[in-house]
Amino acid sequence: MRLTERFDEALAYASALHRSQTRKGSDIPYIGHLLSVAGLVIEGGGTETEAIAGLLHDAAEDQGGEQTLDEIRTKFGAEVADIVDECSDTMVTPKPPWRQRKEDYIAHVGKASDATILVSLADKLDNARAILRDLRRFGPPLWERFSTADPQDHLWYYKSLLEVYRGRSSSWLVDELARVIQDLEQEIGPPVAATV
């Protein structure tokens, strides 16, 4: 696969959209995550269109909702916009509760296109790697960054998605996500029993 000026345009667009955004609880520019996702899509055998969707997968959700999605459709085509739409957790403001959003995402991504599966898988792998890295670096205070601070909730989410991905993809990215989840599970430890 060769990347064209279309990829360059998507990179510039993503950079402009997310310029002031950083990763949760850090000063790392958000574009780093988007570049990682696009890179994983490329390394996972994706097309230029899928790599562009990797760059833009959070654009509508984080930066303007349906209006941004329409702009993506105009600039980069329906296929990119459809992948971005299917990768979006929610575009509703205010966002629904965390568990509801995640259950809805798991349900709809399982029915999504193969292209969406690849981009979603790359996204979740990069997110899980970042969580594991920061958990090892900062310890349990890491969980305070998230709208749900229970690490078991995060494990449930990633394990649920892993099952979806296993049913839809034979990519090495699935095996890599499984390894990261296993490492996360070891770092987190067993659930703490509630005291009565």
Q: Which of 48, 50, 58, 61 is catalytic?
A: 61
Judge whether 98 lies within some domain.
Answer: yes
- Tens-place pLDDT, residues 107-163: 999 999 999 999 999 999 999 999 999 999 999 999 999 888 899 999 999 999 999
Number of domains in the chain: 1
* Residue 194 counted as domain residue: no
Q: What is the three-class DSSP state of 159? A: helix
Buried b (16+ CB within 10 A) or exposed e, 131-147: bbebbeeeeeebbeeee
pLDDT at 90: 81
**C-alpha–C-alpha distance, residues 127 and 70, integer Å:** 26
Contact 54, 34 (CB under 8 A): yes
Out of 62, 89, 176, 185, the active site residue is 62
**Is pLDDT at 92 greater than 90 in this prediction?**
no
The pTM for the full model equals 0.93
Residue 62 is among the residues annotated as catalytic for this protein: yes
pLDDT number for residue 23: 87
pLDDT digits (tens, 9 = 90+) for 163-186: 999 999 999 999 999 999 999 999
| Position 29 in a domain | yes
Domain span holding position 139: 5-188
Which CATH number goes with the domain that contains 102? 1.10.3210.10
